């Protein structure tokens, strides 16, 4: 975390929650928000990973609270929110990042796998957002909700029909909640990342198949986790005051159709 440089962004005094903070982008988001001065609750199912990340943030001078959470459990969401408010204070920023996918052609998708994807990516994200929104409305000081979608929200990704469906739902949910909560000064936006190298996909992208996929990208490269830092901080802080209901595609042109 000490190597992250945050210039022009001050989130001191803010309380942020990052879901899906046990690996990949969620870990990066937590580190960046903490480096910008926010007290960060980090939520996920693997407690040992959360505790390791919290220790790293605290060692760097930040404040972090590990919270065990399965976003598919609506009752657990409310319990986690209560814990965060008790330990850190009222929530200012939610990074709704928890998500998963199942690689499968549509004709092979089982009802169980379908439910797993939709319950995490759509149902879980919705009830995380509404829990945060309800508390922000009651508090009366506004807030920021940043949903992590995907280029799959607007681009067909072969073998990921249900995943793309879930992310398209995230996009419309983002716009709908932004409209509903505008009068409460709650900004709701979504980041739609392209293919970014993370712990979860590095093995694939190092394989022959993964290298072939990268070769078909316009710039023939993957994004890095820190490529989302600027968009995250813009939407979380004061510089994004009048941005709401927007979908930010950050994909290095990967979703652009070839000429």
Out of 52-56, 68-72, 120-124, 254-258, which region has the weakest mean confidence (pLDDT)?
A: 254-258
Is residue 50 scored above 80 in pLDDT? yes
Q: Is the pTM of this model over 0.75?
A: yes
163 is catalytic: yes
Query: How far apart, in Å, are the Cα atoms of 142 and each of 91, 178, 186?
Result: 10, 12, 5
Q: What is the pLDDT of residue 13?
A: 96
Give the Cα-Cα-Cα angle 15, 72, 231 (nearest 5 degrees). Answer: 40
pLDDT of residue 6: 64
Sign of CA dihedral 85, 138, 98, 70: positive
Q: Is 112 exposed, middle or buried (0-12, 13-18, 19+ CB in 10 A)?
A: exposed
**What is the per-residue pLDDT for 1?**
45
pLDDT at 2: 45
Tens-digit pLDDT profile for residues 183-220: 999 999 999 999 999 887 888 899 998 999 999 999 99
Task: With cut-offs at 50, 70 and 90, classify the pLDDT of residue 257.
Answer: confident
**To 5 degrees, how large is the angle CA 233–CA 238–CA 239?**
70
pLDDT tens digits for 130-179? 999 999 999 999 999 999 999 999 999 989 999 999 999 999 999 999 99
* Domain residue limits, the chain: 15-250
Mean pLDDT across 26-55: 97
Q: Is the confidence at residue 3, as pLDDT, over 60?
A: no
* Neighbour-count burial for 195-211, b at 16+ CB within 10 Å, e otherwise: bbbbeeeeeebeeeebe
What's the whole-number mean pLDDT along residues 24-28? 95
Task: Report pLDDT for 35.
Answer: 97
Specify the pLDDT at position 203: 87
* Residue positions counted in the chain: 259
> How much is the pLDDT for 258?
66
Looking at 127, 163, 181, 217, which residue is catalytic?
A: 163
Q: What pLDDT is attached to residue 4?
A: 65
Give the model's pLDDT for residue 7: 60
**Architecture label for domain 15-250:** 3-Layer(aba) Sandwich (3.40)
pLDDT of residue 77: 98
pLDDT value, residue 204: 83
Give residue 212's pLDDT: 93
> pLDDT tier at 8 (50, 70, 90 boundaries)?
low
């Amino acid at each position: 975390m000490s190597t992250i440089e945050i210039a022009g962004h001050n989130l001191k005094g803010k309380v942020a929650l990052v879901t899906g903070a046990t690996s990949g982008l969620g870990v990066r988001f937590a580190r960046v928000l903490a480096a910008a001065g926010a007290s960060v609750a980090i939520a996920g199912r693997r407690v040992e990973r959360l505790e390791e990340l919290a220790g790293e943030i605290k060692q760097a001078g930040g404040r972090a609270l590990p919270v065990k959470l399965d976003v598919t459990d609506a009752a657990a969401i409310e319990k986690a929110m209560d814990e965060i408010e008790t330990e850190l204070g009222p929530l200012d920023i939610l990074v709704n990042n928890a998500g998963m996918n199942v690689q499968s052609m549509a004709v092979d998708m089982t009802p169980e796998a379908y439910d797993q994807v939709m319950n995490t990516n759509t149902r879980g994200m919705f009830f995380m957002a509404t829990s945060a929104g309800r508390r922000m409305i009651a508090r009366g000081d506004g807030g920021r909700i940043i949903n992590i979608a995907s280029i799959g929200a607007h681009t067909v990704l072969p073998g990921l029909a249900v995943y793309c469906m879930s992310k398209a739902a995230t996009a419309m949910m983002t716009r709908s909640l932004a409209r509903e909560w505008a009068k409460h000064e709650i900004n709701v936006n979504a980041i739609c990342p392209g293919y970014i190298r993370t712990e979860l996909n590095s093995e694939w992208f190092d394989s022959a198949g993964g290298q072939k996929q990268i070769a078909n990208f316009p710039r023939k490269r993957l994004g890095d986790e820190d490529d989302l830092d600027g968009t995250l901080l813009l939407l979380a802080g004061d510089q994004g005051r009048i941005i709401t209901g927007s979908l930010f595609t950050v994909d290095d042109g990967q979703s652009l159709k070839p000429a």
